[in-house]
């Protein structure tokens, strides 16, 4: 337990909280990266997935994308991006890699969600004279909300993890506390950084649990 007390001492030292390398700054960086990239990925993935699901096209692509995303190492993508012109633009590689790895779970879950809406409900909506757009927004989207939300949760957790690895390739965020600890051969700092990252990831997961529970009953019933 010595390692934990040393890490706790490191965490509670006010000197480690201030400055550009301080915990506060890294925490805000991590939060900003996660939130901005989650919004970006949702803006990219959700419209595509909903439209594809509505039309019933591109299913193989939407489903296989998740498998491809798992096989490609995050670290490799970060370093490859760093060595391309994207790398000249500050947090560019981090943002691009984060979005790349958040899109597959969003796309797959939203697509599957729309496709799994009961066909007879969709037919009934059409029979009532709803246009394609009305069917999508008033029938398919509300009914697929549980799976869409589940995809957002998976993507958010994935974003936190990827943002941590980005520190290996020089990106900002809480991972930098860990990599700095390795550079200084300071085990307390490494463990303290890891604890911060772990708590951050679990909090994100917890927030989404809460959102799913508070979501309208209709949105929960599908599970």
Partner 1 sequence: MPRTGQSGAPVAWGARSNGAVTAPPDDCLARNEWICGAYLSTRRQILLDAVVQHLQLTFLSVLIGLLVALPLAVLARRRRWAAGPVLAVTTVLYTIPSLAMFSLLLPLYGLSADLVVAGLVLYSLTLLVRNILAGLRAVPEETRQAALGLGYGPLRLLLAVELPLALPAAMAGLRIATVSAVSLVTVGAIVGFGGLGNLIYAGMNTYFKAQVLTASVLCVLIAVAADLLLLGVQRLITPWSRAGRA
Smaller CB distance to partner 1: residue 11 or 139? 11
Q: For the chain, where are the alpha helices, taking DSSP H only? A: 2-12, 23-55, 59-71, 74-83, 92-115, 119-127, 132-135, 141-165, 175-183, 187-214, 217-221
- Can you tell me the distance from the alpha carbon of 223 to that of 77, in angstroms, rounded to the nearest whole number? 34
Structure tokens at 188: 């307390």
Minimum gap (Å) between residue 106 Cβ and partner 1: 18
Smaller CB distance to partner 1: residue 36 or 79? 79
Minimum gap (Å) between residue 187 Cβ and partner 1: 6
Minimum gap (Å) between residue 146 Cβ and partner 1: 18
Structure tokens at 63: 């489903």
Q: In 37-56, which positions are buried (b, 16+ CB within 10 angstroms) versus exposed (e)?
A: bbebbbeebbebbbebbbee
Minimum gap (Å) between residue 3 Cβ and partner 1: 3
Smaller CB distance to partner 1: residue 139 or 177? 177
Diameter of the chain measured on Cα atoms: 69
Residues 6+ apart with CB under 8 A from 27: 174, 196, 200
Minimum gap (Å) between residue 118 Cβ and partner 1: 23
- Can you tell me the distance from the alpha carbon of 103 to that of 123, in angstroms, rounded to the nearest whole number? 30
Smaller CB distance to partner 1: residue 63 or 194? 194
Structure tokens at 170: 């020089």
Smaller CB distance to partner 1: residue 37 or 136? 37
Residues that bind partner 1 (CB under 8 A): 2-3, 67, 70-77, 79-80, 82-83, 87-88, 90, 93, 157, 160-161, 164-165, 167-171, 175, 178-179, 181-183, 187, 190-191, 193-195, 197-198, 201-202, 205
Smaller CB distance to partner 1: residue 127 or 185? 185
- Can you tell me the distance from the alpha carbon of 62 to that of 104, in angstroms, rounded to the nearest whole number? 8
Structure tokens at 154: 């998976």
Minimum gap (Å) between residue 24 Cβ and partner 1: 19
């Amino acid at each position: 337990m010595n390692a934990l007390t040393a890490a706790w001492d490191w965490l509670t030292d006010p000197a480690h909280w201030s400055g550009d390398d301080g915990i506060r700054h890294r925490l805000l960086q991590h939060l900003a990266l996660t939130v901005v990239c989650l919004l970006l990925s949702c803006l990219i993935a959700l419209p595509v997935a909903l439209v594809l699901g509505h039309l019933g096209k591109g299913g193989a692509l939407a489903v296989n994308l998740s498998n491809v995303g798992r096989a490609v190492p995050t670290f490799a993508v970060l370093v490859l991006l760093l060595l391309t012109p994207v790398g000249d633009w500050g947090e560019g590689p981090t943002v691009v890699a984060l979005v790349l790895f958040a899109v597959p779970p969003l796309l797959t879950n939203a697509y599957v969600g729309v496709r799994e809406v009961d066909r007879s409900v969709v037919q009934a909506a059409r029979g009532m004279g709803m246009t394609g757009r009305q069917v999508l927004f008033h029938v398919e989207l509300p009914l697929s909300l549980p799976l869409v939300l589940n995809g957002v949760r998976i993507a958010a957790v994935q974003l936190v993890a990827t943002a941590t690895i980005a520190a290996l390739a020089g990106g900002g965020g809480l991972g930098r506390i860990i990599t700095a600890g390795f550079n200084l051969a300071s085990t307390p700092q490494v463990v303290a950084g890891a604890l911060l990252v772990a708590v951050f990831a679990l909090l994100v997961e917890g927030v989404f649990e809460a959102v799913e529970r508070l979501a309208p009953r209709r949105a929960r019933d599908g599970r």
